[in-house]
Amino acid sequence: MDAKTMIDSLSSQFTGTIYDVSVESDIRIIAKVKPENVKDICRYLKDKLSFGHLCCEFAVDYPNRNEIEVVYVIGSYDHPVVLTLKAILPRDNPEIESVVPVYWNANWYERETYELFGVKYLNHPDLRPLVLPREMLGEWPLRKDYKGFPNKTARNLV
Amino acid sequence: MDNTVGPSEMIVHLGPQHPMMPGPFRLNAKLRGETVVDSEVEMGYIHKGIEKILESKTYLQGITIVDRICYLAALTNEEAYVGCVEKLAGIEVPQRAQYIRVIMEELSRIQSHLLGMGEYASFVGFVSMFMYTIKEREDVMSIMDSVTGARVTHSFLRFGGVKDDLPEGLKEDVKHVFANLRKAIDSYEDMYSTDTIYKGRTVGIGVLQAEAAKDIGVSGPPLRATGVAFDIRKAEPYLVYKDLDFKVCTQTAGDVFARVQVRLDEMRESMYIIEQCLDQIPNGPLFPEGTAYGRRSPVMRVPAGEVFHRVEDPRGEMGFYMVSDGSDKPYRVKIRGPVYPTLQTLPPLLKGVNVADIVAIAGSMDTCTSEVDR
């Protein structure tokens, strides 16, 4: 199964929820999805198209467009196609359904995205900070308008 | 993990500083007697914010930063980063440079496995093994040193090529070192497979089934030890790997012993790859001709776009996702390290094992906390 048939199968199954599909090469697809359907699409990808390997999940901040993109990079153990799904969230209140029930290893990726970008994952089993100390929660250091660097990081040393 | 303890239960904190921990992370284990009931991993002790730092560095400066994600896999980290930029900017790497990259990356795989395996043996109390492997590793490091000029953080790759050509006489050095290393690996295998105490500590311990391993997103030797032949060098060949003959080493048991065995086999396979490369390597330029790319990288702006490039790290799948907005600095870089999901599997894997096996299982994953924290 090549990239083209996969994307056809996906768009016929989820009409209207997948848009802006671009096939970059034989093994790379980028598509945008509606945030509320991400979990269903991931379930379909895993069960029907053997996309069983979540490479990573992270966010990109676009202050100019007032948007945060949550990006899912999903690969497979059986075929070389890597699918990039993007869900666009409003920057003031980014909330999205967690995909942990589908991809178990999304747990830490979502915890990290939460503490670094402030994306709230609904129904996540354990949404705690992973790499940052608790008192830095709410500063969202990987957003583009974060001004704390480097003063905040040296705070504890003085 | 639920922090309430019942009768005859206690919580033991292992790490972050503990001589037997593979890197600074903390493992909180809830014990009932000698058995682990539940556990959780705490990260962030060496969080360096490399993803944020890369956003404020030019593309060329980024090469030295990605070296420091994990010092054992500096060259493969560079390959993933440089590969992203090359894909975005459409730079073709000449054949000779591709072969040199393969040689160096396979050498770095050998030295990483030698350290990981030796360190691991000392975790289960086989301390002499560490002395044996570190001796052989020194020779491999000297070869890398003679090519890149550095032992740990190489900064060797450039956009479109490599910094330096191979020195004269490298082929003879490699031949000499590999002859010793082959003997050494045979003797390690012999020691591992005949030592009853070592086998008692490793055979059947920490078993990960193939389906479970796929489900939780493991890659690299821990996955191949379960029998899944997943290797980025085969699944999605980069550089000249599609012209080279090598096999993906697998085992079926999925236990601690199998993971170490996979690493031993991979070192042999890497040596075979390097020998092929040294025989096949063509003469030619190190950088694409007729372009500005050379030993001194030009001040460059990379066309806007997004790319995901992944390579096979000594520990598994290393991927970089890079977003460029057309300026001289990357807009966003996501580093997908192989150990991140591997370390995540520890709590389910440790459920029901003995306290003494915690370090054996955690060590066999060859974790690199520096890479998980980034």
Q: Which residues of A touch B331 (CB under 8 A)?
A: 60
Cα–Cα distance, A28 to A44 (Å, whole number): 18
Phi, psi (degrees; rounded to nearest 5) at B321: -110, 120
For domain A3-146, the CATH superfamily is NADH:ubiquinone oxidoreductase Nqo5 subunit (3.30.460.80)
**Tens-digit pLDDT profile for residues A106-129:** 888 999 899 888 899 988 888 888
Residues 6+ apart with CB under 8 A from B60: B159, B297, B300
State whether A56 and B336 contact (CB < 8 Å): yes
Choose among A129, A111, A31, A128: nearest CA to A71: A31
Q: Bridge-partner residues for B157, per DSSP?
A: B162
Cα–Cα distance, B15 to B17 (Å, whole number): 4
Q: How confident is the model at residue A155 (pLDDT cuts 50, 70, 90)?
A: low
Cα–Cα distance, A118 to A111 (Å, whole number): 10
Cα–Cα distance, A74 to A44 (Å, whole number): 12
| Structure tokens belonging to residue A135 | 């008192």
Cα–Cα distance, B373 to B74 (Å, whole number): 15
Global confidence as pTM: 0.89
Q: Which residues of B touch A153 (CB under 8 A)?
A: 49
First to last CA, chain B: 24
pLDDT over threshold 50, residue A158: no
Instruction: Answer for the pair B365, B348: CB distance below 8 angstroms, yes or no.
Output: no
Cα–Cα distance, B233 to B296 (Å, whole number): 29
Q: Which residues of B touch A104 (CB under 8 A)?
A: 215-217
State whether B228 and A77 contact (CB < 8 Å): yes
Instruction: Answer for the pair B30, B1: CB distance below 8 angstroms, yes or no.
Output: yes
B214 touching A (Cβ < 8 Å)? yes
State whether B214 and A53 contact (CB < 8 Å): yes
Q: Which residues of B touch A56 (CB under 8 A)?
A: 319, 321, 334, 336
Instruction: Answer for the pair B262, B225: CB distance below 8 angstroms, yes or no.
Output: yes
Return the pLDDT at B321: 92
Q: Which residues of A touch B211 (CB under 8 A)?
A: none
Instruction: Answer for the pair B30, B9: CB distance below 8 angstroms, yes or no.
Output: yes
Nearest-CB residue to B308 (from A28, A107, A130): A28
The position carrying tokens 């030797």 is: B221
State whether B317 and A55 contact (CB < 8 Å): yes
Chain B: residue whose CA lies nearest to A24: B307
Query: For every one of its 374 residues, what pLDDT tens digit does chain B have, with 9 covering 90 and above?
Result: 777 777 888 888 887 877 666 678 888 888 888 888 888 888 888 888 888 888 888 888 888 889 888 888 888 999 999 999 998 888 889 999 999 999 998 999 999 999 888 888 888 878 888 888 888 899 999 998 899 888 888 888 888 889 888 888 888 989 999 999 999 999 988 988 888 888 888 888 888 888 888 888 888 888 888 888 888 888 888 888 888 888 888 888 888 888 888 989 999 999 999 999 898 889 888 888 888 887 787 788 888 888 999 998 888 888 999 999 888 889 999 998 888 888 888 888 888 888 888 888 888 887 788 888 88
Domain count, chain B: 1
State whether A60 and B214 contact (CB < 8 Å): no
CATH number of the domain that residue B30 is part of: 1.10.645.10
**Tens-digit pLDDT profile for residues B130-160:** 888 888 899 999 998 899 888 888 888 888 8
A27 touching B (Cβ < 8 Å)? yes
Cα–Cα distance, B293 to B285 (Å, whole number): 12
Residue B363 lies in a domain: yes
Nearest-CB residue to B321 (from A53, A73, A104): A73
Chain B, residues 282-311, CB within 8 A of chain A, namely: 306, 308, 310
**To which H or E segment does residue A89 belong?**
strand A82-90
Choose among B358, B366, B365: nearest CA to B124: B358
Exposed/middle/buried for residue A93 (C-beta within 10 Å: 0-12, 13-18, 19+): exposed
B312 touching A (Cβ < 8 Å)? no
Chain B, residues 228-257, CB within 8 A of chain A, namely: 228, 230, 235-236
State whether B214 and A52 contact (CB < 8 Å): yes
Choose among B20, B29, B42: nearest CA to B353: B29
Q: Domain span at residue B69?
A: 9-373
> How many CB atoms are located within 10 Å of the residue B303 CB?
10
Angle between helices B256-280 and B170-194 (to 10 degrees): 160
Cα–Cα distance, A121 to B241 (Å, whole number): 40
Q: Domain boundaries in chain A?
A: 3-146
State whether B217 and A104 contact (CB < 8 Å): yes
Residue B357 lies in a domain: yes
